[in-house]
Amino acid sequence: MPRITKEDKARNRQNILEAAGRMFRSQGIDAVGIAELMKEAGLTHGGFYNHFASKNDLVVEVCGASFAASLGVLAQEVEDGPDRDGSPLKRVVAGYLSAAHRDAPDGGCPSASLVTDAARHSEAVQSAYAEGVEGYLTGFAAEFLREAEGKGHELDPGEARRAAIRLLSEMVGALMLARAVRHVEPELSDEILQTGRSHALG
């Protein structure tokens, strides 16, 4: 039997993480069994425990990795700065509350797709989710402060923090509602997204 190299093991582990990220977001954590997950990753059921001690450990890592990817998008938008499409925060809101993001629950930010699951799972999962939320709040608040400074205004850090909480709450809530009704009331779903985009930074 051919020996598995470190590179093969790392690639297999990454395949599990990516498959789990897609399946957890689209189906919910509890609906995904290890056998089904490993099949999706192109691996055998028994190989799971060569990479993760438990499903809970996998969920924690998926949550952290998913938020890291989403926060990377936010960081890139901030680094790019304002452009003809508006400020970094406007572009983030436009992308988050887009039809493309709504219609791809297996991808994108876990803030909406894993919010209910996080509340039902272990403290370790909730901590990973909370860390991701905190990353968004910190990034949003910092950008609110930068924007105010650029306009010659003073903004209290506490108010920037509260504005960040409002913004993330509005984004997550609007996306969840839009996803919940999109198949039966597509026009309502679009209306929710549009209103969210228009008013999130009001």
- The per-residue pLDDT for range 101-132, each reduced to its tens digit, is 999 999 889 999 999 999 999 999 999 999 99
How far apart CA 115 and CA 172 sit, in angstroms, is: 9
Report the b/e string of 28-62 with b at 16+ CB within 10 A.
ebeebebeebbebbebeeeebeebbeebeebbbbb
Q: How far apart are CA 73 and CA 29, in angstroms?
A: 24
Is it true that domain 54-199 has CATH number 1.10.357.10? yes
Distance of alpha carbon 178 from alpha carbon 174, whole angstroms: 6
DSSP class of 45 = G
CA angle, corner 87, sides to 21 and 102, nearest 5?
35
Q: Where are the domains of the chain?
A: 54-199
Task: Say how far apart CA 12 and CA 43 lie, in whole Å.
Answer: 8
- pLDDT tens digits for 55-104? 999 999 999 999 999 999 999 999 988 888 789 999 999 999 999 999 99
pTM attached to this predicted model: 0.91
Reduce the DSSP state of residue 32 to 3 states and report it: coil
Report which of residues 91 and 1 the model is more confident about.
91
Our CA dihedral for 202, 129, 119, 15, rounded to 10 degrees, sits at: 120
